[in-house]
Homo-oligomer: A and B are copies of this chain.
Amino acid sequence: MFQKEIQVLDRGFVRLIDHMGSDLSVVNAARVSFGKRKEALDDGDAKLIRYLSAHEHTSPFRHTAMTFHVKAPIFVFRQWMKHRIASEFNEISGRYVEFAEDEYFVPELFRKQAKVNKQGSEGEIDAANRDRARAAYLESCRGAVAHYKELIELGVCREQARCVLPLGLYSEVYWTVSLQAVAHFIRLRSDSHAQWEIQQYAAAVRQAVEPLYPVSLAALLDLEKG
C-alpha cells in the first residue's frame, strides 16, 4: 500500500502511507458480529452505513485509521491542527533541521480582501498592483531566508534563528486520523468559507481517502451537509 503523492499548491503534497479497515470494518464494528468477516459489501451493508451516519451512531466509523504524509505551508498546518480530536501530528522540527532555501509558498495569484466577509477574500487584486505585490512578497521571503542563514552563520542556534522565518514556509507532517475525523476535516475545509489554500489540501485528502472507504465517506459527508 503505497500511494503516489498528490501535488498541492506550488511545492506541497498529500500522500496516504498507511490505513486500517474498509467499509466492511464499519459494518462489522456496528454488528459486533461473531467471528464472521464478510468479504464483500452487499446492499444491506451500504444501507446500514447510511443509517448509522444519519442517526449519528458514529462510533463504528472510528474503528478505522489512516496515516498521511503531508507537506504544506505553516499557516495551513496552523489551521489544520485545530482538528485535534482523534488526530495525531508529528511535524518536522525547526530546532533539529535547518530549513531549505526557497521552500516557501508563493501564491499563483493574489486575492483581494473580501468586503462583506471580514475573514475572507474574493477575486484578484487590481491588475496595476499585481507585479508589485509579487515582488514585495518575494523580497520579503528572500530577505527572511537570507537573514536566517546569516544568523546561523553568526553562530545563532536554529531554535532562535527560525523566529525570522515566514509563516509561508513549508513544513512536513505525519497525520493519523480515524475516518470520522477525516470526514469532518474534509467537510469543514472544503467549505467555500475556508481559505482557498487549505481547500486544495482538503480536496487532495478526499481524493486519497475515497477509494478506500467509498460508502462510508459518502455517508459521512452527506450527513454533515444536512
Q: Footprint of B on A, CB under 8 Å?
A: 2, 5, 15, 17-21, 25, 28-30, 32, 34-35, 37, 55-56, 59-60, 62-67, 69, 73-75, 78, 81-82, 84-85, 87-96, 104-105, 107, 110-114, 118-122, 125-126, 129, 132-133, 136-137, 139-141, 143-144, 147-148, 150-152, 154-160, 162-169, 172-174, 176, 178, 188, 193, 195, 226
C-alpha spacing A157/B66, complex, angstroms: 34
Is B137 a contact of A164 with CB atoms below 8 Å? yes
A35 and B126 CA atoms in complex are apart in Å by: 38
Task: Kindly list chain B residues whose C-beta atoms are within 8 Å of the C-beta of A88.
Answer: 59, 62-63, 178
Copies of this protein chain in the complex: 4
Q: Which of A62, A63, A118 has the most CB of B within 10 A?
A: A63
Are A151 and B136 in contact (CB-based, < 8 A)? Answer: yes
Q: List 13 A-B contacts (CB under 8 A).
A: A32-B90, A62-B88, A81-B81, A96-B119, A107-B163, A125-B156, A133-B156, A137-B164, A139-B147, A143-B144, A163-B168, A164-B167, A166-B166
